[in-house]
Amino acid sequence: MRTPSLYSQDDPISAALKPPPTETDAERTARLLAEAEAKRISEQIDEELRLEREKLKKNKGDVKLLLLGQAESGKSTLQKQFQLMYKPNSLDMERASWKAVIYFNVVRSLKHILATLEAWGDTLEEFGVPSNGPESLEDSVSHSPLRPRINGISEQPSPSSSLMHPTDGANGISDSPNTRPSTAASHHPTASLDSNAILIANLRRRLSPLVAADAQLVDRLSGGIAVSGSGKGSVYVRSGWQSRTLETAMGKFKSSKRQISEDEKRSRESLTQEAAAPQDPLIQEVGRMLELSRNDIKELWEHPTVRGLIAKRKLKLDEWSEFFLRHISRVAASDYVPSTDDILHARIQTMGVAEHVFDVNLHGKSVTWHLYDVGGARGQRHSWVPYFDDAHAIIFVAPVSAFDQYLEEDPRTNRIDDSLQLFTQICSNALLKNVHLVLFLNKTDLLKAKLDTGLRVRKYITSFGERSNDYETVVQYFRAHFLQVHRKNNENRRVLYTHFTSVVDTKTTQRIIGNVRDSIFRGYLQSAALV
C-alpha cells in the first residue's frame, strides 16, 4: 500500500477554516469580504513595518539634538532661530498664527499691569514711598514696607545663601513673605484718589473689554490644556498649534497634499500678504479693539505711576511684555503683520516635546537634523528621559538674567539655583555621559540692563559677596559655577562648549549656531562618516 504524499494530505488548519456545507450565499459574501479586509490589513502592517525599517536605516546618520533648560530660559526662541536659519519658509507659513500669540501677550501684559496697580491702590504714595522715588533701586526695595508677590516673583524674597549648596528646605532657599496690601489700602473712595489714580481708573474702565478678551484668546490657543506642576495662570499649547489655530479659525480641519505643496512654493511676499489678511473673527475683533485702544495703552504704559512701580520693582514684567508695549503703535495698527523680530519675542509655552526637522548642509553633504524642544516646567521634565538614550548633542539653555527671579511653579526656588540643579542632573545622567554638551548662558542683554539699573546680585545670591557688580564679573561668576558642576560630573572628560547668548539677536545667534553645528559634526559624528 502506497503511503500518501505529505502534500496530498488536507491541511488541518485549512480544514478547520473551511466553510460549513450549509453556508448561504449571503454568509459566503460576508466571509469573503472579511477575509479580503483581513488580508488588506495584514499587507498594510507589512508595508508599514518595511517603511519603518527603511526609515530607521535612513535615519541612522541623522543628528538628534535636544534643547533643555527651565521654562522661559529661551529654548523655543532658539528653536525659532534654527528654523529661521535652516527652514525659513516654514516660519513664513506660520506668520499668521503668531498674530494670536502676540495679541495674547499684549492683553495678558495689560491684565497684569492693571492687577498690580489695583494691588497698590493705583498710586505710589499709599505706602510711604514718594512719587519721585528713592535715591537708588536698593533703597526702594529695602524700604518698601509691603511686598506683594506677583506671578510667583517675590518683591523682597529671602536670598539664595549660595549656589548649588542647598540645605534643609526647598533647594536651600527659605520661604519668602507672601503678604499683600490690605483690602482697605487697595480700595479707596474716588474722592480720595489723586488725579493720577483717577486717570488710571478711567483707563482701566476703557481697557476692560480688551482685557476681557484674555479668556477667549487662552481658549483659542490652549484648547483648555492644563499642565500639572506648573505655575498658576500659565497657558500651554500642544505641538503643531500653529496650523490648528488657523484651521480652527477658518473652519478648515483638512488640507490636501497638493495644497500643502503649493503653499511651500509660495514666495515670502505672497505669504506675508496672506498673513496680513487673516480670516479669524476673534483675532479681527481683538485687533479692532487694540487699534481703538492703542492711545489708552500707550498712556497707561507711559503713566508715571506705572513707570514708578517698574523702577521700584513693585511691577515686574517679562521681556516680551515690555517689547510689545514699547511697540504698541505698530502692533495695534489695522494692517499689522508680525515681523520676524516680533515672532522671536512672542511667548507661548509648548506642552510636551516638539520635534523640528532640518536639512543641514556641511561641506556639501546634507544631513537631517532632528531638533527636540521640550517643556521646561517642573511638571513636564519627566518627558525628557525617553529622548536621552539616542541623543547626539544637548544644548542646555540657562538664563543668567534670572538671578532675581523665582520659579513660577515654586516661588521659594531661585531660578539660577534651579538651572544649576537641572544642569547637574543632565551632566550626571548615565545615558548622557557621551553626549556632546553645549551650554548657552542666555539673556545676557537683560542681565546688562538689570545691572545698569543698580540691581545688586548679592541681594539675591549672598555667596556673590563683595565682588564687583559689573557685567563681566557677574557673568563669569555664573559661568564658573556651571563649569564646576560639569567638572564634578565628567567621567569621560568631554569638552563643555560655553556661549554667552541673547537668542533674540538673530545675527549673533545664527553665528553661534554655525559654531555649534561644526563642533557637533567634528566631534561626535565623525565616527559615522558624516564629515
**Whole-number Å distance between alpha carbons of 282 and 488:** 53
For 370, the 3-state DSSP assignment is: strand
- Residues contacting 56, CB < 8 A, separation 6+: none
Nearest alpha-carbon partner for 17 in 33, 1, 35: 35
Instruction: Name the helix (H) or strand (E) containing 496.
Output: strand 496-500
Beta-sheet pairing, 63-68 with 393-399: parallel
CB atoms within 10 A of CB 405: 22
490-499 contacts at long range (C-beta below 8 A, 24 or more positions apart): 490/427, 491/433, 492/433, 492/434, 494/433, 494/434, 494/436, 494/437, 495/523, 496/437, 496/438, 496/439, 497/437, 497/438, 497/439, 498/438, 498/439, 498/441, 499/438, 499/439, 499/440, 499/441
Instruction: Pinpoint the alpha helices (H) of 59-187.
Output: 75-86, 88-93, 95-119, 137-142, 183-186
Angular region, 443: left φ>0, alpha ψ -120 to 50, beta rest: left
Residue 298's pLDDT is what? Answer: 95
| Identity at 209, one-letter amino acid code | P
| Identity at 22, one-letter amino acid code | T
Nearest alpha-carbon partner for 129 in 114, 113, 145, 118: 145
- Identify the sign of the CA torsion 425, 426, 431, 432: negative
Residue 312's pLDDT is what? Answer: 85
DSSP state string for 328-368: HHHHTSTT----HHHHHH---EEESEEEEEEEEEETTEEEE
Residue 381 burial (C-beta neighbours within 10 Å; 0-12, 13-18, 19+): middle
CB 427 within 8 A of CB 65: no
Residue 288's pLDDT is what? Answer: 95
Nearest alpha-carbon partner for 415 in 171, 232, 67: 171
| Identity at 146, one-letter amino acid code | L
Residue 11 Cα to chain centre, angstroms: 62
Residue 155's pLDDT is what? Answer: 43
CB 379 within 8 A of CB 230: yes
**Whole-number Å distance between alpha carbons of 337 and 98:** 9
**Whole-number Å distance between alpha carbons of 117 and 498:** 41
**Whole-number Å distance between alpha carbons of 385 and 500:** 27
**Whole-number Å distance between alpha carbons of 281 and 162:** 52
As given in the structure block, the three cell numbers for residue 46 are 507589512
Residue with cell 498594510: 44
User: Within 13 Å, how many C-alpha atoms sit on residue 98's CB side?
Assistant: 23
CB 374 within 8 A of CB 391: no
Q: 460-473, pLDDT tens digit by residue?
A: 999 999 999 999 99
| Identity at 426, one-letter amino acid code | I
- Residues contacting 362, CB < 8 A, separation 6+: 517, 518, 521, 530, 531
Tens-level pLDDT at each residue, the chain (531 residues): 555 554 445 566 666 667 888 888 888 888 889 889 988 999 898 888 777 666 655 555 788 899 999 988 999 899 999 999 999 888 888 888 899 999 999 999 999 999 999 988 888 765 444 444 443 444 443 333 333 433 333 344 567 765 765 443 333 333 333 344 444 444 444 444 578 888 999 999 999 999 999 989 988 887 766 554 444 456 666 655 655 555 555 454 344 334 444 444 444 444 444 444 446 899 999 999 999 999 999 999 999 999 999 888 888 888 888 999 999 999 999 999 999 999 999 988 877 788 889 888 877 778 888 999 887 676 667 677 777 888 889 999 999 999 999 988 788 999 999 999 999 999 998 888 888 899 999 999 999 999 999 999 999 999 999 999 999 999 999 999 999 999 999 887 888 999 999 999 999 999 999 998 888 877 645 544 444
CB atoms within 10 A of CB 75: 27
Residue 136's pLDDT is what? Answer: 41
Length of the chain: 531
**Whole-number Å distance between alpha carbons of 473 and 454:** 15
DSSP 461: B
| Identity at 53, one-letter amino acid code | R
**Whole-number Å distance between alpha carbons of 215 and 501:** 34
* pTM check: above 0.85: no
For 195, the 3-state DSSP assignment is: helix
**Whole-number Å distance between alpha carbons of 485 and 70:** 17
Q: 402-433, pLDDT tens digit by residue?
A: 999 998 878 899 999 999 999 999 999 888 88
- Residues contacting 175, CB < 8 A, separation 6+: 158, 169, 412
At residue 238, what are phi and psi to the nearest 5 degrees? Answer: -80, 160
**Whole-number Å distance between alpha carbons of 105 and 242:** 16
CB 117 within 8 A of CB 309: yes
Which class does domain 60-92+352-530 fall in?
alpha beta
Nearest alpha-carbon partner for 494 in 518, 520, 475, 529: 520
